């Protein structure tokens, strides 16, 4: 993608990318592909292979576990500016959830081949990408930690009453499928 000043400004708003120079930001953007998603359009689908991450410039994504007949469980929301999908980019595996646009959303995609090239050619830029990914992943580790803490302090019978664990019977089936999906991820 040919970067413009607008793209660069959007990228530099996003966490670890803010340490890059304008030239480095442009170098990263050269390896990206721009996408504009319509409302309800999928960035990626649960179970699909994928090795790209995305940086959301504008808009918002819903991270969902898909069920049958359009049923889903939302497990996170991604606002701008934020990175999403970095796990599959750094450690390729089927997507464990779907990402769907909640409104018209503008983003750039960056794949593993681009990362490998940047590691060789522009390590400082690659380092900014990986640093941002580590921050995101560690935040999620903290969230899992909190969920465990809630499970440990919950009362018997309703140990998971706090979101994001659904407790209503009709929600629980979708949650069960989410867990199956995770277990099958390998």
Partner 1 sequence: MITIADMRASGGFRAFRDEELELLLTVAPERRFAAGADLCRQGERGLSCFFLVEGEVEVLTATARGEHRLARLQAGNIAGQMALVNHAARSATLRALTPVVAAEFDRETFERLLTAASPLAVRFQIQVAVGCIRQLRGATARLGELVASAGSLPPRASQLLGIQSTLHTPEAPYDAIDIVEVMPEDRVLTTHHDDDD
Which residue ranges make up the site for partner 1 (CB under 8 A)? 86-87, 90-91, 93, 96, 119-120, 122-124, 126-127, 130-131, 133-134, 137-138, 140-141, 144-145, 147-149, 151-152, 154, 156, 159-160, 165, 176, 178-179, 182-183, 185
Q: Comparing C-alpha atoms, which of 55, 54, 78, 62 is closest to residue 9?
A: 55
CA distance 180 to 108: 31
CA distance 136 to 132: 6
Q: Comparing C-alpha atoms, which of 25, 34, 12 is closest to residue 125?
A: 25
Nearer to partner 1, 11 or 125 (CB): 125
What is the smallest separation between the CB atom of 58 and partner 1, expressed in angstroms?
A: 26
Nearer to partner 1, 104 or 142 (CB): 142
Nearer to partner 1, 12 or 159 (CB): 159
What is the smallest separation between the CB atom of 97 and partner 1, expressed in angstroms?
A: 11
What is the smallest separation between the CB atom of 159 and partner 1, expressed in angstroms?
A: 5
Nearer to partner 1, 48 or 134 (CB): 134
What is the smallest separation between the CB atom of 10 and partner 1, expressed in angstroms?
A: 23
- Provide the strand spans (E) within the chain: 32-37, 42-44, 52-58, 60-66, 72-79, 82-84, 98-101, 105-111
CA distance 36 to 112: 21
Nearer to partner 1, 4 or 21 (CB): 21
Q: Which residue bears the tokens 């000043």?
A: 5
What is the smallest separation between the CB atom of 110 and partner 1, expressed in angstroms?
A: 14
Nearer to partner 1, 29 or 125 (CB): 125
Three-state secondary-structure class, residue 155: strand
What is the smallest separation between the CB atom of 66 and partner 1, expressed in angstroms?
A: 16
CB 58 within 8 A of CB 122: no
Q: Which residue bears the tokens 């970095």?
A: 86
């Amino acid at each position: 993608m040919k970067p413009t000043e607008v793209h660069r400004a959007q990228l530099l708003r996003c966490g670890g990318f803010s340490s890059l120079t304008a030239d480095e930001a442009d170098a990263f953007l050269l390896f990206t592909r721009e996408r504009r998603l319509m409302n309800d359009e999928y960035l990626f689908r649960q179970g699909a292979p994928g090795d790209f991450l995305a940086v959301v410039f504008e808009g918002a994504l819903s991270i969902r576990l898909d069920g049958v007949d359009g049923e889903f469980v939302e497990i996170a929301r991604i606002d701008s500016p934020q990175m999403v999908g970095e796990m599959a980019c750094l450690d390729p595996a089927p997507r464990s959830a779907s990402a769907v646009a909640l409104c018209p959303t503008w983003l750039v995609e960056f794949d593993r081949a681009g990362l490998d090239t940047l590691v060789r050619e522009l390590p400082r830029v690659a380092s900014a990408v990986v640093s941002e990914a580590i921050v995101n992943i560690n935040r999620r580790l903290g969230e899992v930690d909190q969920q465990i803490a809630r499970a440990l302090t919950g009362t018997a019978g309703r140990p998971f009453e706090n979101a994001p664990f659904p407790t209503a019977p009709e929600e629980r089936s979708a949650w069960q499928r989410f867990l199956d999906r995770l277990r099958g991820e390998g």
